[in-house]
Amino acid sequence: MFESLRLSDLPKRSHGILRGPSCTKPTIWLVKEAGARAVVKDYSTGKPLYRNIIGRFLVWRESKAYKRLRGLRGIPTFYRVIDGLALVIEEIPGRSLKKHEKELKLPKAFFDVLKDIVDNFHRRGLAHCDLKHIPNVLLGSDGLPYVLDWNASISEKEFRFFPLNLIFRRFLLDDYMAIIKLKLQYIPETVTPEEKRRYHHRCPVEKGVRAINYRLRKIFKNSNKPSVY
Ligand SMILES: Nc1ncnc2c1ncn2[C@@H]1O[C@H](COP(=O)(O)OP(=O)(O)O)[C@@H](O)[C@H]1O
Ligand SMILES: [Mg+2]
């Protein structure tokens, strides 16, 4: 699917842009082919140094994660990488969730399905690590959750030796904390006091891991704010 798509074709082949070019964020193009729709997460529009070092690394990380997640519900289908600089991924009709979105109410079932999705990708040996960044969860037009943006994810295999195994476990937990964070925003009345306590509790190891996570994110994504917190 989308085998003939080239980076130079994107301006004329795309039927829309979800996010325009910036120095450090990929351009998100919308493309269609034979009835299928895809987004192209394209780092080729960034500055040369960023695109060739960070961009290629992030594309490699994200494509590796998507290949491992193939076939799981709630995860878009991954089609291909173009020239090491762009990912072609199934477009999920719907919209990303937003921070401080007060007007939208989501049913409890949405979060039950999200918990299943998280359980399933953990079983495949991946921690997402950026699920607390709310726009990485998409509300599909079918009313179901979808999880996007896998370039910060880590695998159990890479983190199997001490002390990395402890860090991996911490990130598994952090994915579940992200569900509590979303519930606090969308259905706070269902969050139990125990969940609230767990969500607000920070042990020293966690603070350290968060600080490292925050710094890495700033380097790789040039984000001004921590995505957790
Ligand atoms: N497969 C997809 N289907 C629909 N929208 C998507 C898809 N992938 C990304 N998007 C939209 O583009 C935004 C940015 O994509 P994302 O992968 O999170 O990039 P970044 O790493 O720059 O945060 C998402 O928040 C979402 O709104
Ligand atoms: Mg994102």
Enumerate domains of the chain plus CATH numbers: 7-90 (3.30.200.20), 94-221 (1.10.510.10)
Mean pLDDT within 133-147: 98
pLDDT tens-digit map of 81-137: 999 999 999 999 999 999 988 889 899 999 999 999 999 999 999 999 999 999 999
For residue 195, is pLDDT > 50?
A: yes
Least confident of 20-24, 74-78, 132-136, 174-178: 20-24
Q: Quick one: pLDDT at residue 110?
A: 98
Output the DSSP codes for the chain: --TT--GGGHHHH-SEEEE---SSSPEEEEEEETTEEEEEEEGGGS-HHIIIIIIHHHHHHHHHHHHHHTT-TTSPPEEEEETTTEEEEEPPSEEE--TT--S----HHHHHHHHHHHHHHHHTTEE-S-TTSGGGEEEETTS-EEE---TT-EETTTT-STTHHHHHHHHHHHHHHHHHHHHHHH-GGG--HHHHHHHH---HHHHHHHHHHHHHHHHHH--SS-S--
Q: How far is the CA of 12 from the centre of ligand 2 (A)?
A: 25
Tokens 């990395």 identify what position? 164
User: Which residue lies with its CA nearest to atom 16 of ligand 1?
Assistant: 149
Q: Quick one: pLDDT at residue 139?
A: 98
For residue 140, is pLDDT > 80?
A: yes
Distance CA 181, CA 39 (A): 27
pLDDT tier at 222 (50, 70, 90 boundaries)?
low
Q: How far is the CA of 209 from the centre of ligand 2 (A)?
A: 20
Q: Quick one: pLDDT at residue 227?
A: 40
**Cis before 93? omega within 30:** no
Q: Is the dihedral of CA 17, 20, 21, 24 positive or negative?
A: negative
Mean pLDDT within 17-30: 94
Nearest to 177 by CA among 140, 133, 138: 133
Q: Quick one: pLDDT at residue 207?
A: 75
Mean pLDDT within 7-19: 96
Identify which ligand lies nearest to the alpha carbon of 149: 1
pLDDT tier at 151 (50, 70, 90 boundaries)?
very high
User: Which residue lies with its CA nearest to atom 1 of ligand 1?
Assistant: 91
Percent of the chain surpassing pLDDT 70: 95
Q: Quick one: pLDDT at residue 226?
A: 40
Distance CA 154, CA 137 (A): 18
pLDDT tier at 224 (50, 70, 90 boundaries)?
very low
